[in-house]
Amino acid sequence: MRSRSLLSACLVSCVSASACGTPTSVDVAVGITQPFVGKVWLSTDASAPLGTFRIFLPDGTLVMDSCVETYRLAKWRTLDERRVEWQEDSAKIEAVIAQPSPGELQIRVRLGGEINEQRYRLATVPFVCPDMPR
């Protein structure tokens, strides 16, 4: 439980630091400011583990976690106005990002020959992972 609190404090610090409007190396590399960067995106997919979220930090760090999984930090970058990529273990993951509204995020990930569509909503504060069923 202590490690979850420590992780939460770390994430709040990371997101707070990323809220500044100064362009970063991720933005400058492609010359694009992405509106989804620096925000906590909570999954709305019923098939996703409970509390799944993503944070694309402007320093090129992608934070991935849920209420039931071990968190992952990965490097990410923009490829163009709609495409991003990140590294998971030895695999490069490429995805198309869409924002149907400011509070919604869609990530279309190509995994081998399949397309995986992930949907997220802007997280509201406060948020606490619910108790897990036993």
Give the rounded distance of the alpha carbon of 82 from its chain centre.
Answer: 15
Q: Among 69-73, 75-79, 90-94, 100-104, which stretch is predicted with the lowest mean pLDDT? A: 90-94
- For 79, the enclosing helix (H) or strand (E) is none
128 close to 51: Cβ distance less than 8 angstroms: no
Q: Give me the pLDDT at residue 121, please.
A: 98
Residue closest to 41 by CA, chosen among 101, 103, 109: 103
Please enumerate in sequence order all residues whose Cβ is within 8 A of that of 81, keeping only pairs 6 or more positions apart, or say none: 30, 32
Q: Give me the pLDDT at residue 133, please.
A: 61
Domains of the chain: 2-122 (2.40.128)
**pLDDT, tens digit, for every residue of 26-74?**
443 445 578 999 999 999 999 999 999 999 999 999 999 999 999 999 9
State mean pLDDT over 103-120: 93
Q: Give me the pLDDT at residue 9, please.
A: 41
